[in-house]
Every structure is written in structure tokens, then in C-alpha cells.
Amino acid sequence: MNVAMGQKPFVAITYETTESNKTGSWRFLKPLYQDKQSPCSAGCPAGEDIGMIEMLARQGLFKEAWETILRENPLPGVCGRVCFHPCESVCNRKDFDSPIAVHALERFLADAAVGAALTTKWERLPQKNQRIAVIGAGPAGLSMAWFLSMLGYPCDIFEALPEAGGILRWGIPEYRLPLAVLQSEIARIEQLGVRMRTNNAVVSETFDELRRSYSAVFLGCGHAHGAPLGIAGETPESVKDGLDFLRRARQGERPLCDGFSVVIGGGNTAVDVARTITRFGGNAAILYRRRREDMPAFGDEIAMALEEGVELEELVAPSAIEYHNGRLRLLLRKMKIKGQDKDGRGRIVFDGKKTVKKVIDHVFAATGATAAEPWYSPPLAQRGVMGFSHCVLLLEAGGAPVIYGGDLTNEAKNVAQAIASGKQAAMVLDTYFERGIDEIKSRLEACVVGDGPALSMEAYLGGPRGGRSSHLVQYGEINTDYFQNETRVTQPRLAVEDRSCSFNEIELPITAESALREAGRCFNCGLCDECDNCYVFCPDAAVIRSGNMENRHINYDYCKGCGVCAVECPRYALIMGGEGL
Amino acid sequence: MKQVLEGNSAVAEAVRLARVQVISAYPITPQSHIVEVLSDYCASGKMDARYLRVESEHSCLAALVGAACGGVRTFTATSSAGLAYMHEMLHWTAGSRLPIVMAEVNRALGAPWNIWSDQTDSLSQRDTGWIQLYCEDGQEVFDTTLQAFRLAEWVNLPVMVVTEGFLISHTYEPVDIPEQEEVDRFLPPYNPAFKVDTKNPFTVNSIAPPSIYMEIRHDNAMAMDEVPERFDDVEKEFEVLFNRRYGAVEAINCDDAEIILVTSGTITSTARLLLEDLRDRGEKVGLLKMKMFRPFPVEQVCRALKSAMKVAVIDRNFSSGAGGIFLQEVRAALCNREDRPLVFGYIVGLGGRDVTKAVLEDIYKMTKNSDVPSDKSVWIGLREVKHAIGR
């Protein structure tokens, strides 16, 4: 097989192929392409496929990225603005430089799709015979209708108020969520054939009627009523409902808030009420019984409120209210921190008998909310009631199944959880109708993203996402040699003088260039992005690529199992395992 | 045109004028200046060459083996630990018959750390199949580098051009740098003996079983045996164009010498001065400069030493348990000759210690005053030291 080269040097040269030497027989560990779960997706209540979304966005495939969001979340324009983005706080990139600005990218993709008037053709399952009634057009009901439509169920939404959106329409000010954004998302849901019946309040009689005429009823009525403070002298006139104030402001009214108002509470509603008051020309102070760092409201929103002139008083709790010379006198007890609560926040106790009196013009309560009607809430555990993480199914003789969702079933109450609730309820109902009650739990478990409880509709529908390993990628599993420190995109904002006198949206859009750059920072934890490191590094040319990701594979006839491919994979999309894999 | 150049720059200028196409190197003192200049040339376009950055000397030479199989002229430079790290690939290069040229700047090997001149690094690679040519000054370094490409490509063997850390590498001397056209007349474009071709693929260095390995090695050995003759041819061509010639060895006043000093590298320059002094005093002394070490020029060495009574081999290197390495080779060359001289061996200047004319004169006197040489090399100039260990 060796040929002497005449007068030339005698070198071992062969024209025979080396393919006869199947070095794969040397192998005792085996590389395997295996997409995994990213912490952001598992942290997202809606289970968005964030690593994939950013990968597509980085490649400039904005439409495909947007569609990837819509497969798990019908409200990207809303969530890109008002979601508390738990995805970012678990982003592996935080241990490297700073987390990906997932919310800014989500908003960019949603706005870009609306700006380009993108439409998308959904592969929907064949139409089912069961018609579903959805009560409440808040985020849970909208999500339920969207996913039910995908699964082939015709559905009608019944909404008491003149427009759909629920808390998104009536409880979040325009400067955080412009009306046009919400309307375009609702329009997209209606385009799937969902019938929106507004000004259509369901009372208990009509509810029974719906249970007879529909195959199932979803109740996602949310927390429409603010809870009272429960203090001496409190009347609906002396202590106004903060949520009601926001609702009236969004209906175009200019509710009374002249002079000096105090807002009791520490959540986003309290901050929004105070900021709305300043925009109407009033002065406002937020009174909170704990400290600023304990407030459930977004830190950024609190900071902006203070910039806009809102005052904040910590460690005060209202105890009584009375009229005083045509104004209001609020009696407050001072609080102090003593030890810790179970959740790690400082435990508050009365600071002796210390009190403080405030004479003001208006008091708004924003300390929590409840269902408008008691029967909106899910029944307690009993025969015929099945509880899930984000919904409750009631099966009883004499009526169609009722499924409860939204804030009234969710432990955490926010938009993303409401969307998760609608999605889970859609899956529960579909499995119930298609396969029977016994299959529900196992089917839900098969769609869990990472360690849950987020669920993936793509996985439920048998998409490729369902084939991923359940392993949640850790920071240490990323090969950070392939990444460089890069600054996280900063979302531009209206200047304080421009925003405090108007309801214009504060957060401004990022450019496509910034979006591409920000998406490029993403580790795409556990997802192959065809970077070809495995192909380049394989010393046996045993990585075979043939155009698309499904066809990328290892030629095990020659792979010696050296593991270089797995080590050099930046994203932990390759693993080494025993031969049994 | 004569320029005042650092020894390392003289190497770099030769590589530029040789129109090398692929350069790869990993930096190491005292070699780094060579490839720093070359990387500048590649970046600025002054050279039309690919400069490959690598993560180690092993990869460096492996990369050049690949490039040379592709039929291009290649160069690298290294020192000391870098050369040691190339060890496996040194064998591979010679076995593949690839005419890669390397500048090897002598530097002591650790431990302990030492960055100064010492030949043990290059001499400990004597069995790797590389031609080794030792140089004395900047001009010789320049000339030898050019000659190395011509020689390597003629016999299809790699060449190590050996210079010395700081004494040559960082020393500025006048060096005559010819014009490109003159160099082109001496060194034609590389015409490879074989060249991989993706259209007609073949495997280089596939497995060679016992039935053929020995023949391949023998072909290699025959090419090496041819080197002294081919080097002479190269030097003749070089001399016609540039009027300089060095020889595989240089014998000075050896014909009537009773005692001949054998040196290599920069120590030769010092010995030249001593030789003049001693001759002025009527001493019958000669000097043999060893330029070629591999292949070992047995014929030339024996011819130069045949009339001497005593030979003093001076080694700036050391093979533990066997003494100076040039000493071993000179003794081996002479052992079957009749009327062979007595061969004395001396170890000097390890790790860059200065070797002055006075040191060489001491060696001359010791040789003159001794009747029988020691079996082992004699260490010159050792200081009395107290060891710090155990304190």
C-alpha cells in the first residue's frame, strides 16, 4: 500500500482510505446531541422558549422568534412591558456579566410584529365538537381562549365591562401599557375565531344557563374589588378603592384627587395610584407598613415614582380615619422591624405606642383585592374537584365542567401567572375531553418546562420542544470561553419632566440593532445553535452535518468518544454518556 | 547593504527574503524578537505569508507539518523548553521528510529557571533527524538561515539553525543584507517533493509496518549522509553570489598544530583571539570550529585533527553521566583512526556564564600540562558554594 516516490524521499503515503479502520470500536463513552432546559424558560410562568427565541432573534429571524413566543404566550406586547420578568433573575448570564434583557427583547419582537403587520397561520388542531364559555376577558381568560382555539375548541368570552383586557385594560395605567398595544393583542386572539361578548356580565342565573349550553365553562374573574383597610371610621367615601380609581382614570374620567392624597399599600397598584395622582396634578404619598426593600412593587417603578415627586413613608400602618375641618385625619401607628418572617422579610411589630397623625384630602387603599362575587372563587377540595397548580376543575352531575383560573386560583397574582393558568386550564379540559380524567396529571407532567410548574403548549402538541431533556442547565455547564463580556441593553426612558405630566409610555423602544446585539448575548442554555464547534474540533471527522439541525449527528463508526465535542460545546447541547444511551 | 541588526532581526530578515509562506511560533525568550518582527511583516503585508498563532510549541510544529505537506515553505523559531515541547513533532517532521527551517536560540533548560545561553537544549534533540548548524555571529546567522532553506529543500530534511541567547539573539552587529533579487537568484521557489491534494487525496504517514519501516528509515539515513556534500554545494553557490563561506567545520592553523581547541558558537570568536595571542608567543595551537553537528561531519573532523597530539573539546553543554556532548562525538569520530590524538573535554559557560579568553587560555594550559585526559569532562571555573538547602 505504500509507494516509493522514485528519486523523491521515501515517505509513507497511501491512497487507500482509512475508513476501513472503524475507530468507533475504541469508544466507551458516547457523545449525544441533547437539547436541554434553560433556567429562564423554567422561571417563566408561561414557559416561553426563551433560549430559542433569542437564538432566532440573533439570526434576524424576528418573525419566527415572535411566533415562538406566541406558541406559549398570546400577550408578548403586554408581557414585554408589565411582566416582572422572573426569567431575568434566573438567567445564567447573571453570573457572567448581567442577565439578558428578555423583557426588552420580547417587547421589541412584539412591537416589530405589529409594526410590520405580521400575521401568522397557526397549525390548529381540527375543530372539536365541544364549545367553551370563558367568563372574564382578563389575561387568564384571553390565554384560555387562545390556547383552546389552538386545540380546536370554539369559544366565547363573556366580559362584564365594555372592553376586553381585565386588569390590563382597567388596572394598569397607560404610561406602562398603552391601549393600542393591548388592543392589537386582543384583536389577534379574536382573529382565531374567539367571540368577544363585552358588556355581558354573567350573574349566577346566566352562569347556570352557560353550564347547560356550553360543554365547559372557564371562570377567570380575577380580583376586581379592592379590599378595605379594616380601620375605624372607614367608609367607601373616606377610604377609596385604589383599583377603582385606576379603572376610572382609564375609562377617561378624571377622578377627584386634588390636594394631598395618601395611598396605603406597597404593591404596583399603590405605586400606580400615586403616580396617576401626580399626573392629574395632585400630590401623593405612599404609606407602607414595611420598608421600601420589602415592597412587592417593581423597584424601578418605585424609583421612578419618587423621581416624579411621589413621597414614600415606611413603617407606618393606618389605624383610624376621621373627617376633620372638611379634610381627612388619618391616624397611623409606627411600626418597627423585629426578627424575620418565614419568607425572609423583616417581621413588623408596633413600635410601642408611637402614633402619627396626618391631615390630608384623600386616602386610597391598595393593600389587596378580592373577587367581586363569592361564587367566582373555586370550591374547596371535595369530591369532583381536582386542583392543579394554576387552575381547579369542578366536575359535578347536572352541569358542564367548570374550570377556575386566574388570580383566584394562582398563588402568585400577575399577568404571567394568569397566562399560565389559562394555558393549564386549556390543557386540562382538552385532556379531559380527549382522553379522560385519569390522563390529566400525566399529560401535564409531560409538558413541564425544566423543574416546573411552567408548562409548554408546544410540548403538549407534540412539537420538538417536548423531546428535550428535563435537565436544567447550570452556569457551570456553559463553556464561557466562547463568550465575551458585553453590556446589557438599556431601555431608553422618557425624561422625568416629560413623563410626570403625561400618560405617554415611559419605556421607549430599543433599536433592531440593539435587539440583535442583546439577543446575541444569550447563552441559549442547552440549545444547539449550529455553531459547528463540534464539527471543527472532532479529530475523527465523525460529526456529520447536513443542512438542518435534525440531521446533525455523530458517525459512531468512527467516533472514539474522546469528548472534545462535548467540552467545546459552548451551550451544553452535547453530553457524554455510557454506551447505553 | 550593511545594517546594524540584532541577531534575532538578522534571522527575521533572512526569513523575509526567503519568501517563507507559512510561519508559526509560540513566543519564548530569547527567541521572541524573531517572530515579533515576522508577525509585523505578515500583518503589514511586507511578507506575503500566513502567520499561525498556536497555543503551544507542539501545535506549532504540528501546524507547520500540515502546511509543509501542502507544499509551502515554512519557518518557526523557538528556544529551550519550547524546543523540548516540540520533541515528538521534531521526529515527525524529519520522518515526513519535510524541509521545515527552524531558528533555535540556545537557552538553558530548567530547572532551575535560566534564560541564558547553553547548548543542551538543541543538542538533546540530536537524534530527532534534524540537520543542526551552529552559528557564531549575526552575519553567519543570516547567511545560514538562507542556506538552510536551500539545503533542506534539496535533501528533504528539516534544518535547525542554532544561535545563542543574548550573545547573538540580542546583540547588535553589522550584517550585510542583500537585495531580494540577489536572494531570489540563490533560493528558487520551493518545489515540493510531494504535496497533498484534495482532488486526489492520499494519506501522509499512514501506518508503516515492520516490513517497510526500516526501508523508510534507511532512505532517511541516506539523505542525512548526503548532507555534508550538499551543504558544500549550497555554500559554493552562496559564495559565488555573496562571497562568503563557512564550511561544515572551519579548521584554523590546524595543519601544524600540536594542540587543537574544538569549539562551537560564540566561544569560537573568543578562541580566535586567543589563538592569535598564543601563535604570537610561538605556541603550536590550532582551532576547529564545529558548524555542522548533525550530521556529524566525521571526515572533516578527522582530517582537521589528524596531525595534532592533543585535542581540547570545549562544551557549553552537558549530558549528565556522559559529559560534554561535542566531546563524545569527537571521541567517537576518532576512535577507529590510527595515530589519533588524545581528546580532552571541558565544560564551560553553562547557563550563560561568561567564557572569557582567560578561561580558554586556562584550558589550553591544562591540556598542554596534562599527559592523559580524564575520561570525564573537566568542569572549568566552578565556584565554592554553600548549599542553601536544609536551612
Q: Check CB contact under 8 Å for A13 and B204.
A: yes
Residue B63, domain member (yes or no): yes
Distance from CA of B41 to the nearest CA of A (A): 29
Kindly state whether residues B272 and B218 are assigned to the same domain.
Answer: no
Domain membership flag for residue B9 = yes
Do B347 and B371 share a domain, yes or no? Answer: yes
B139 falls within a domain? yes
Residue A329: alpha-carbon gap to chain centroid: 41
List of chain A residues whose C-beta atoms are within 8 Å of the C-beta of residue B193 = 5, 8-9, 11
Enumerate the domain spans of chain A: 20-35+528-577, 44-120+482-515, 132-224+371-435, 225-368
Measuring CA to CA, which residue among B32, B34, B18, B26 is closest to residue B73?
Answer: B18
What is the enclosing helix (H) or strand (E) of B272? helix B267-280
Residue A424, pLDDT above cutoff 80: yes
Residues B233 and B334 in one domain: no
Q: Name chain B contacts of A12, Cβ cutoff 8 Å.
A: 204-208, 212, 216
For residue B387, is it within any domain?
no
Q: In this complex, do B216 and A12 lie within 8 Å of one another by their Cβ atoms? A: yes
Query: Min CA distance, B217 vs chain A (Å)?
Result: 9
The C-alpha cell of A438 is what?
385519569
**Can you read off the three cell numbers belonging to residue B16?**
523575509
Beta carbons of B204 and A15 less than 8 Å apart? no
Tell me if A11 and B206 make a contact (CB, 8 A cut-off): no
Angle CA A374–A379–A380, to nearest 5? 120
- We find that the CATH architecture of domain A20-35+528-577 is 2-Layer Sandwich (3.30)
Verify that B198 and B283 share a domain, yes or no: no
Task: Note which residues in 3-32 of chain A have CB less than 8 A from chain B.
Answer: 5, 8-16, 18
Q: What is the pLDDT along chain B (391 residues), one digit of tens a residue?
A: 999 999 999 999 999 999 999 999 999 999 999 999 999 999 999 999 999 999 999 999 999 999 999 999 999 999 999 999 999 999 999 999 999 999 999 999 999 999 999 999 999 999 999 999 999 999 999 999 999 999 999 999 999 999 999 999 999 999 999 999 999 999 999 999 999 999 999 989 888 999 999 999 999 999 999 999 999 999 999 999 999 999 999 999 999 999 999 999 999 999 999 999 999 999 999 999 999 999 999 999 999 999 999 999 999 999 999 999 999 999 999 999 998 999 999 999 999 999 999 999 999 999 999 999 999 999 999 998 877 765 5
Please choose, from the candidates A231, A250, A448, the residue with its C-alpha nearest in 3D space to the C-alpha of residue A331. A231
Residues B195 and B303 occupy one common structural domain: no
B94 and B6 inside one domain: yes
> Domain range for residue B218?
2-240
Distance from CA of A569 to the nearest CA of B (A): 19
Smallest CA-to-CA distance from A101 within A25, A50, A136 is with: A50
Please state the ipTM of this predicted complex: 0.86
Partners of B205 on chain A (C-beta within 8 Å) are 11-13
pLDDT for res A287: 96
- DSSP single-letter state for residue A227: P
Query: Which residues, at least 6 apart from A173, have a Cβ–Cβ distance to it below 8 Å?
Result: A246, A249, A250, A272, A275, A276, A503
Do B276 and B197 sit in the same domain of this protein?
no
Tally of CB atoms within 10 A around A3: 12
Cis before residue B228, ω within 30 degrees of 0?
A: no
Q: What is the pLDDT of residues A144-195, one digit of tens each?
A: 999 999 999 999 999 999 999 999 999 999 999 999 999 999 999 999 999 9
C-alpha A264/C-alpha A316 separation (Å) is: 9
Same fold, A44-120+482-515 and A132-224+371-435: no
Can you say whether residue B325 is alpha, beta or left, with left for phi > 0 and alpha for psi between -120 and 50 degrees? Answer: alpha
CATH code for the domain defined by A225-368: 3.50.50.60
User: Which pLDDT belongs to residue A371?
Assistant: 83
Q: Are B215 and B257 in the same domain? A: no
Closest CA to B246 of B164, B151, B133: B133
pLDDT at A344 > cutoff 90:
no
Whether residue B216 sits in one domain with residue B69:
yes
Tell me how many domains chain B contains: 2
Cell of A248: 376610572
**Residues B198, B314 within the same domain:** no
Task: Determine contact: B223 vs chain A, CB below 8 A.
Answer: yes
> A360-408, pLDDT tens digit by residue?
999 999 998 888 888 888 888 788 899 999 999 999 888 899 999 998 8
Q: What is the DSSP string of B186-255?
A: HSPPP--S----TTS--EET----HHHHHHHHHHHHHHHHTHHHHHHHHHHHHHHHHS----SEEEES-T
Interchain CB distance below 8 Å, A1 and B206: yes
Indicate if B199 and B269 belong to the same structural domain: no
Instruction: Give CA separation, B305 vs A273, A415, A551, in Å.
Output: 106, 97, 72
Are B205 and A11 in contact (CB < 8 Å)? yes
pLDDT digits (tens, 9 = 90+) for A77-134: 999 999 999 999 999 999 999 999 999 999 999 999 999 999 887 778 899 999 999 9
Contact B219 A9 (CB under 8 A): yes
CATH code where residue B351 lies: 3.40.50.920
Task: Give the model's pLDDT for residue A488.
Answer: 97
pLDDT per residue over A503-517, tens digit each? 999 999 999 999 999
Mark which of B201, B220, B240 sits at the end of a domain.
Answer: B240
Q: Domain of B202: which CATH number?
A: 3.40.50.970
On whether residue B140 sits in a domain, the answer given is yes
Q: CB–CB of A259/A282 below 8 Å?
A: yes
Give the orientation angle of helix A102-115 with respect to helix A62-70, to 10 degrees: 110
> What is the spatial distance between Cα B156 and Cα A94, in angstroms, rounded to a whole number?
56
* CB–CB contact B219 A5 (8 Å): no
Q: Which CATH superfamily is domain A132-224+371-435 in?
A: FAD/NAD(P)-binding domain (3.50.50.60)
| Interface membership of A539 toward B (CB under 8 Å) | no
What's the pLDDT tens digit per position in A550-572?
A: 668 899 999 999 999 999 999 99
Chain A residue at shortest CA distance from B211: A2
User: Are residues B325 and B307 located together in one domain of the fold?
Assistant: yes
**Amino acid at position B91, single letter:** H
Whole-number pLDDT of residue A119 = 86
Provide the 10 A C-beta neighbour count for residue B30. 25
CATH class of residue range A44-120+482-515: mainly alpha
Q: Return the DSSP state at A560.
A: -
Q: Containing H/E element for A479? A: none
Chain B residue numbers touching A541 (CB-CB < 8 A): none
Tell me if A334 sits within 8 A of A356, measured CB to CB: yes
Q: Is residue B384 part of a domain?
A: no
